[in-house]
Structure 1
Amino acid sequence: MRKLKYHVATSVDGFIAHEDDTYGAFMQKRLIEDSEHVMDFIASLATYTTALMGRRTYEVGLKEGVTDPYAKMDTYVFSRTMKESPNPRVTLVADDAVGEVRRLKAQEGGDIYLSGGGAFAGVLFAEGLIDEVLLKVNPLILGAGIPLVSSLRTVVDLELKSTKVYGNGVLLLRYAVIPKPA
C-alpha cells in the first residue's frame, strides 16, 4: 500500500496560510534565501508520484495561471464546487473523496503527496488515511489564518521520526501517524 504524506509548511502557531488563502509571510527573503530547505523540498517531490489537494489549495496556483502544479505527478483536486478541471492532466474528484483516496493508496506506485489543505487534511486524518506528517515549521507567528488541520473529531497520535534545523530557522519535523487500534 502506498503512503499518504501530509507535507506542508506551517507557522509556529499552526497556520499554513493567511486567512485570505495567501502565503506571503512564508515567502519572505530571509526564509527562502537559504536554499537548502528549498532544495530538500524539491528533492522530496521526486519521491511522490501522486499529488492531492483541495480546491482552495489548487486555486492559489490557478489564480497565477498554473493549471498543472505538479506536472511529473498524477494530480487530483477534491472539490464539490468546481464543475470541470482546467487541465486534462488534473483529475477533479467531486464525490466520495475518502473512497478515491483509499483507491489511490491501494494502487501500485510511489508515495502520495497531500499538498496543503487543512480542511481536507482533517477529513483524511479522521479516516486514518494519512501515514506521515512532514512539517516545515517556519519561524513565524501569524496569529490567524488557515489552520494546519481543521475539524478533527479525535486526537491523532504521532511518533517523531526525524528533525532537521536549517540555517534560516526553518525546522523540518517528520512524524509517523500511529494507527488507532482496530
Structure 2
Amino acid sequence: MRKVTAGYFHSVDGVVQSPNLWQFDAFDDELGEMLGTVMQATDTVLMGRVGYSEWAGYWPTATMDGDFATFINSVPKFVASRTLSPADMGWSNSKLIVGDLLEFVRALKARDGGDIAVMGGISVARQLFFAGLLDSLTLITHPVVAGAGMRMFEPTDPVTRLELRDCRRTSKGNVVTSYGLRSA
C-alpha cells in the first residue's frame, strides 16, 4: 500500500504558513538532499484550495528552484476544495477531488504507485492525520520565532499520541522530526 506523507517548514513557535517570510538563511544542503529524496519517492501530490491557488500562480513560471519547479509542474496534483470547480484546474496535471476527501485518499492509497505527498495543504494534512491516513508527518523546524501565522495544529485538536520515527539536525540548526500516529 502506498504511503501518504506531509512535510512542513516549521518555526520554533509552531508556524507553518508562509515560510518564505521567516525561513531566511536556514535552508541548507542537507534539507535540499532530504527534499530531493521526497521528490524521487513521490508520484502524486494532494493539495488544498489555498495552497493550490498560491502555487498555481507561482510555480508554472518560477525561475528559481528549478528542480522543484520541474517536479511540481509535472506531477499529478489532486486538489481538495469545496469552492473550486473542475474548470478552475488550469495548472498542468491538476484535478479536483470530487466527493469525500478521506474516501478519495483511501482509494488512492490502494492503487499501485509511489508515495503520495500533501503539499500546500495544511488543513488537508490535518484531516488526513486525524483520520489515520497520513503515514508520516515531517516538521522541519527552523531556528526562528515567526510570531504570526497558521500553525499545524489548533487549540481545539484532540490529545493525540505520536510516535517519533526519525530526528535529525542539519548544519544550519534545523531540526527535522518525523512522526506517525502511535499504535494503541
What is the TM-score normalised by the length of structure 1? 0.84
CA RMSD of aligned residues (A): 2.3
Code of the residue aligned with 1:6 in structure 2: it is: A
Aligned partners of 1:87, 1:97: CA distance in 2, in Å? 20
Runs of 5+ unmatched residues, structure 1: none
Give the 3 Å change call, closer, same or farther, for CA 94–139 of structure 1 in structure 2. Answer: farther
Deviation at 1:38, TM superposition (A): 1.7
Counting only pairs closer than 5 Å after superposition, residues 83-102 of structure 1 correspond to structure 2 as 83=85, 84=87, 85-102=89-106
Percent of aligned pairs with the same amino acid: 29
Aligned partners of 1:82, 1:140: CA distance in 2, in Å? 34
| Contact 2:168–2:175 (CA under 8 A) maintained in structure 1 | yes
The structure with the greater share of residues assigned to strand is 1
Aligned partners of 1:148, 1:116: CA distance in 2, in Å? 12
The structure with the greater share of residues assigned to helix is 2
Deviation at 1:140, TM superposition (A): 1.4
Code of the residue aligned with 2:90 in structure 1: it is: P
Aligned partners of 1:133, 1:74: CA distance in 2, in Å? 21
**What is the aligned counterpart of 1:54 among 48, 54, 59?**
48
What secondary structure does 1:122 align onto?
helix
1:19-76, Cα deviation, whole Å (9 max, x unpaired): xxx73212x1x213x2221232122211111111101112222232538862453211
Give the 3 Å change call, closer, same or farther, for CA 116–158 of structure 1 in structure 2. Answer: farther
The aligned counterpart of 2:122 is 118
**What is the aligned counterpart of 2:110 among 95, 106, 110?**
106
**What is the aligned counterpart of 1:23 among 3, 16, 20?**
20
| Contact 2:5–2:135 (CA under 8 A) maintained in structure 1 | yes
Deviation at 1:166, TM superposition (A): 0.8
**What is the aligned counterpart of 2:181 among 153, 177, 180?**
177
Deviation at 1:94, TM superposition (A): 4.4
Runs of 5+ unmatched residues, structure 2: 62-68
What is the TM-score normalised by the length of structure 2? 0.83
1:100-147, Cα deviation, whole Å (9 max, x unpaired): 111111111111111142222222122211111111111111122111
The aligned counterpart of 2:76 is 74
Aligned partners of 1:151, 1:63: CA distance in 2, in Å? 31
